[in-house]
Copies of this chain bind each other. A is one copy, B any other.
Amino acid sequence: MRPQKLSREQILNACALQFKRYGYAGTSMEMLAKACGLTKASFYYYYPSKEALLLDVLELTQHYLNSHLFKLNENTQISAAEYFDQMHTRAVQFFSYEVKGCLVGMLSLEARYHSADLLDKIRAIFQHWEMAFYQLFRLQLQEDEAKILAKQSVADYEGAILMYRLNDDLFYLDQVKQRILKQLTAA
């Protein structure tokens, strides 16, 4: 009776939203199935377990981030600051889409005492983000400065998103942007 079959990607996206909203422990397979317009049993046709699903959700998230947020378009003419500005806009969109917050940051807290696979994946995603920042900042800054700012920026974003989620206030994300821009243009 369902309108149409969902693609693997649509399922993962729907599940990502549930996880982002309620966390891993707070999301049941029932909720995930319903979010996909499937029955619980049907849902198991696509995914054999909650953990497997989560890993795939993160995999997709990683791909998405790598191709949409972290990938630097090298043959561009705009400045590092301008580039970062666009990057920030896309980041804010990503962290505001449907549910405010950062799925990966959230899972990082829950996953700390779970499986090693999960931790590795989460760390990898943050690493890629840091690397993306590094390459961008390197256009303007010294190696050391770029390195530190990249590492710091990831943390800054996570803190800002946490407060954004809690207080519904974009101030935090805007401050992060201003601060990074200042360092990029000051150089």
A residues within 8 Å of B by Cβ? 21-26, 100-101, 105-106, 108-110, 112-113, 119, 122-123, 126, 148, 151-152, 154-160, 162-163, 165-167, 171-172, 175, 179
Contact = CB atoms under 8 A, between A and B. Distances in A.
A155 B151 contact: no
Chain A contact residues: helix, strand, loop or mixed: helix
Given A108-B162, A152-B172, 18 more contacts: A21-B112, A22-B25, A23-B110, A109-B109, A109-B165, A112-B166, A126-B163, A126-B166, A151-B171, A151-B172, A151-B175, A152-B175, A155-B160, A155-B172, A158-B162, A158-B163, A159-B159, A159-B160
Copies in the complex: 4
B21 A162 contact: no
B113 A21 contact: yes
27 contacts: A21-B112, A21-B113, A22-B113, A23-B110, A24-B26, A26-B110, A100-B112, A101-B109, A101-B112, A105-B109, A106-B109, A108-B165, A119-B166, A122-B166, A123-B166, A123-B167, A148-B175, A151-B175, A152-B175, A154-B159, A155-B156, A155-B160, A155-B162, A155-B163, A156-B159, A158-B159, A158-B162
